[in-house]
Structure 1
Amino acid sequence: MFTLSARGSRDPDGDSLSYLWLNYPEAGGWKTPIPAKGAENIYRVTFRAPPVTKPETAHFVVAVTDKGSPPPTRRRRVVVTILPR
């Protein structure tokens, strides 16, 4: 299991934020989707790493959206290296 966090994201106007975490299998070495464990729309999310026989990379994207008007969205990619046990 590993946890990714967007804690510290903020809106200069003070509007609340929404979060969408996505595994992006097309970009990395690991092609099988890795689903999130737990609630959606939170700044922190946990994933269960798949068993691997060699180091593999997995790409994740978080989209943080301001609930103001208009609702701008920023995206950031995180690359995780999954190691064999």
Structure 2
Amino acid sequence: MSRTVLCRKYQQTLPALATAPFPGPAGEDILNNVSAKAWEEWTTHQTRLINEKHLNMMDKAARKYLTEQRGKFLSGADFDQADGYVPESSEK
């Protein structure tokens, strides 16, 4: 049986990540409090932010910005959207 967590974002018990997404206390916090579903959604959103805002991941300010946005996204708070992003339509 797979491990579950009470997801901070969705406030539901959902399947957990198999391993921490990165080392250290922040990775352990995500492992223990964020569902695999929420983490997958974050990684997609993070990629969109990097691409649309032309963030340079060598820039310390860009990494700090993404860390702040990750915290907001995973806690269910208001977070930045990519400029001009329009979600794909489910209608075809």
What TM-score does the superposition give when structure 1 sets the normalisation length? Answer: 0.24
**Structure number with higher strand proportion:** 1
**Structure number with higher helix proportion:** 2
Relative contact order (C-alpha < 8 Å, sep 6+): which is higher?
1
